[in-house]
Amino acid sequence: MPFRAAGRPFARVDDEIGPRDRAWIARHHTGPGPAHRVDPAKGLLADDFAALREWAAEVAGGGAP
């Protein structure tokens, strides 16, 4: 499967992220891209959105919002 981000920043958000997923991302993606795990019983919470927003601000060069 080709990786479509092509070096651009991306965040993978999933309820199942393990070492194999992180290794796959490292092999196929040269740009910034955290693997952010969410609790499947709770879904995305305010803290998840805050962490992703902070990461996006850092990537954009603006620092923390």
User: 24 in a domain, yes or no?
Assistant: yes
pLDDT (tens digit, 9 = 90+) per residue, 10-27?
Answer: 888 999 999 998 888 888
| pLDDT value of position 54 | 92
User: 38 in a domain, yes or no?
Assistant: yes
Of residues 40 and 10, the one with the higher pLDDT is: 40
Domain that holds residue 31: 12-59
Task: Count CA atoms within 13 Å of residue 11 on its CB side.
Answer: 15
- Are 22 and 8 within 8 A, CB to CB? no
User: 17 in a domain, yes or no?
Assistant: yes
- Are 45 and 24 within 8 A, CB to CB? no
pLDDT at 37 over 60: yes
Give the ranges where 1-65 is alpha helix by DSSP (H).
Answer: 19-28, 46-59
| pLDDT value of position 2 | 52
User: 3 in a domain, yes or no?
Assistant: no
pLDDT at 1 over 90: no
Q: How many domains does the chain have?
A: 1
| pLDDT value of position 38 | 95
User: 49 in a domain, yes or no?
Assistant: yes
